[in-house]
Structure 1
Amino acid sequence: MDASRTRALRRGAFVPALVCSALLIAACTAPESPGKEDGSTTRAGLLTDAADLQNQYLKVIKEVLPSVVQIEASRDLGSGVVFDDQGHIVTNAHVVGSEKTFKVTTAHNEQPLTARLVYSYPEQDLAVIKLDKVPAGLKPATFGDSEKVQVGHIVMAMGSPLGLSSSVTQGIVSATGRTVSEGRSGGGTGATIANMVQTSADINPGNSGGALVNLEGQVVGIPTLAATDPELGGSAAPGIGFAIPASMVKTVADQIVKSGKVVDSGRAALGLTARTVVDESYQPAGAAVVTVKSGDAADKAGLRPGDVITKVGDTPVTTTTELSEALAADKPGQKTTVTYERDGAAKTAEVTLGEQ
């Protein structure tokens, strides 16, 4: 799992902080000191607002947590989200790894149920498994519209961090539209994923594959990884986690459920393999083409093994990760330019991108 990219749980104190913040604002903006009666009214209103917010938290947790399950492989532990009433569960590809069978613990079953892999799609770090027997009362989650997710929205991460099933952490949406590359160390797939939701809600080992939920009770993302800080020895950077957006989760999971595989990835590709090369100062200098797939985008554009790609469109490329990130921002069928070096000379080719 992603132990190197995650941290232990922190207990938040959101509601008291909200109350204190509101009191400070009221004190700063009042034109004059309120009378005793007015002050009591203000405090009563703030306490009511805080109680309403707390009740909304409780309502969402009660509604959504039964749709979040714990997934146990032979060596790893992760989370999943009930996708439909047929027993399909969506999770991360790095949670299932290379295994085919799993034990699943649902909210209403103390004894684990058995499940089998339907399909794993490491390129987007998503997978679908299916329960062998669907228990009574299995509740599918409601997935939201990723386009409506905004910075500042309150969200909760639900899952089984560190094996603590049915755990909840809270935070906000810190950013949207992030392109993030996973490492392969610690069980990652090495995928480059576009349009991820960044959140301050803690993403811990075992949260992977769970649910990032808004206050309307909708799953807006699948928590996948936390940022790592090189200055902290590669340990997780506090309060910076990432979730695959719900719209992409639905697109991929729908295809797997209906076709048993992903038939339309929506991910642009050049149709080649590459490796990072360095310059005389041992600094990354480009992505050297290793193989080119016959008839695919790179082949049609005239690229060949030995060429060193240095730019895609206007985006500089010094590593294979940057090459993947540049392509993640594009779509299949889109035209772009690829700048590369061949025999010491810079060249540019127009490419119509293929599909991964």
Structure 2
Amino acid sequence: MKASRAAARRTSLTVAVVCAAALASGCSGSGSPSASPTGSPPGSTARAAPAAADSLQDDYQRVIKDVLPSVVQIQASSDLGSGVVYDDQGHIVTNAHVVGDDKTFKVTTASSTEALTAELVYAYPEQDLAVIKLTKRPDGLKAARFGDSAKVAVGQITLAMGSPLGLSSSVTQGIVSATGRTVSESRSGGGTGATIANMVQTSAAINPGNSGGALVNLSGEVIGIPTLAATDPGLGNSSAPGIGFAIPASMAKTVADQVIKVGKVTDSGRAALGITGRSVLDDGYKPAGVAVVTVTNGGGARKAGLEPGDIITRLGTTDVPTMQSLSEALAEKRPGDKVTLTYLRDGAERKAEVTLTEI
């Protein structure tokens, strides 16, 4: 009796695996193939299973063959990361935290072990993006195709390409698990401290060294620049498996186009209050708001009457007990937006309408 039950379990498992591989619904609850609605002969579903797997594998290999030559390894003095060839002039897009304070870099392409030299064009830590340029353009250099971030959807298959842990030309796979995330980087974790809006969340493994590489869809388009993995405070701030974030491709294009054209970012599209501030605690040692340290001339806060010493507690309807929460709230806004700012002055609550300026 025990052997019969084990055999039944093995038979049921085999049928379930075949059905899942074929993405088919033609399996009955008893473990027997159901009749095909189109009158297909018995066994046609089983034959379709390896065909579907082969087709998906072919898609993966086609995309990797097409895009991987456009992903490079970047060696800075204190960091190693990845980059994406942006055009046929040798410009490469990467993360600002990969380049750090360096001005020159060693770059290795997927098709060669010879290190090339590149120079910094411009770093934009506010969005954790940077552009470097090869001093000598090698033959066969291929620019990647950047996709439209507005078309990125949850459930799309993604491939992350880069040099995780120094392993050049590595590829991991997953899906887009969320869009529109606003994420703040930690300076202590090697980031720039930037708060970045509209990030793409992916289950593809993002490890140290993947930063600045390519998150790619099955159409062979770069849809994001992998930047960081989520951390779990409960595990000592170690990486949380299966949760990584990428800067949307459209933002990378916006920054790169301006840098290549004029040498810097002239239109960030990022909103600002026009202050410097610091988080403050209440009597119970809990975050209570953002104390204004300085007010920028010409900024929205100064025009609205804010002064050093004021404590900002709410932006619109969003409570902002810390500088990070204020940065995240501002990341959702655009320059020119009008917001109601709630703040404390000498213990009394006040409100002011502020027109946001640009970083």
TM-score range, shorter chain: over 0.9
C-alpha distance in 2, partners of 1:186/1:138? Answer: 33
% identical aligned pairs? 68
Matched residue, 1:158: 161
Paired residue type of 1:291: T
8 Å Cα contact 2:311/2:345 also seen in 1: yes
Q: Which runs of 5+ in 1 are unaligned?
A: 1-15
1:340: how far off?
Answer: 0.4
Paired residue type of 1:240: I
- Residues 264, 205 of structure 1: alpha-carbon distance in 2 compared, 3 angstrom cutoff: same
Paired residue type of 2:156: H
Matched residue, 2:241: 238
Kindly indicate whether residue 63 of structure 2 is the aligned counterpart of residue 78 of structure 1: no
C-alpha distance in 2, partners of 1:223/1:130? Answer: 20
Matched residue, 1:26: 26
State which drifts further: 209-218 or 18-27.
Answer: 18-27
C-alpha distance in 1, partners of 2:69/2:253? Answer: 19
1:104: how far off?
Answer: 0.1
8 Å Cα contact 1:158/1:207 also seen in 2: yes
Matched residue, 1:3: none
C-alpha distance in 2, partners of 1:38/1:29? Answer: 20
- Residues 29, 336 of structure 1: alpha-carbon distance in 2 compared, 3 angstrom cutoff: farther
Moved over 6 A (4+): 16-19, 29-32
- Residues 159, 17 of structure 1: alpha-carbon distance in 2 compared, 3 angstrom cutoff: farther
C-alpha distance in 1, partners of 2:333/2:123? Answer: 23
Matched residue, 1:5: none
Matched residue, 2:49: 46
Kindly indicate whether residue 91 of structure 2 is the aligned counterpart of residue 92 of structure 1: no
1:110: how far off?
Answer: 1.4
Kindly indicate whether residue 288 of structure 2 is the aligned counterpart of residue 288 of structure 1: no
Matched residue, 1:11: none
Larger of the two Rg values belongs to structure: 2
Question: Map of 1:43-192 to 2, 5 A cutoff?
Answer: 43-192=46-195
8 Å Cα contact 1:70/1:160 also seen in 2: yes
- Residues 131, 294 of structure 1: alpha-carbon distance in 2 compared, 3 angstrom cutoff: same
Which deviations, in whole Å up to 9, do the C-alpha atoms of 1:221-273 show, x marking residues without a partner? 00000110010011011100000000000000000000100000000001110
Question: Map of 1:325-340 to 2, 5 A cutoff?
Answer: 325-340=328-343
Kindly indicate whether residue 268 of structure 2 is the aligned counterpart of residue 276 of structure 1: no
Q: 1:307 aligned to 296, 306, 310, which one?
A: 310
Kindly indicate whether residue 334 of structure 2 is the aligned counterpart of residue 344 of structure 1: no
- Residues 234, 149 of structure 1: alpha-carbon distance in 2 compared, 3 angstrom cutoff: same
C-alpha distance in 1, partners of 2:115/2:189? Answer: 25
Number of residue pairs the alignment of both structures matches: 341
Q: 2:264 aligned to 245, 261, 264, which one?
A: 261
1:26: how far off?
Answer: 3.1
- Residues 31, 232 of structure 1: alpha-carbon distance in 2 compared, 3 angstrom cutoff: closer
- Residues 186, 35 of structure 1: alpha-carbon distance in 2 compared, 3 angstrom cutoff: closer
- CA-based RMSD of the aligned residues comes to 1.9
Q: Which has the higher contact order (CA 8 A, sep 6+)?
A: 1
Paired residue type of 1:125: D
1:329: how far off?
Answer: 0.3
Q: Which secondary structure state, in structure 1, belongs to the residue aligned with residue 261 of structure 2?
A: helix
Q: Which runs of 5+ in 2 are unaligned?
A: 1-15
C-alpha distance in 2, partners of 1:19/1:101? Answer: 54
1:29: how far off?
Answer: 7.3
C-alpha distance in 2, partners of 1:268/1:298? Answer: 12
TM normalised by structure 1 equals 0.92
Paired residue type of 1:118: V
C-alpha distance in 2, partners of 1:259/1:30? Answer: 67
8 Å Cα contact 1:19/1:47 also seen in 2: no
8 Å Cα contact 1:296/1:354 also seen in 2: yes
8 Å Cα contact 2:22/2:50 also seen in 1: no
Paired residue type of 2:180: G
Paired residue type of 1:339: T
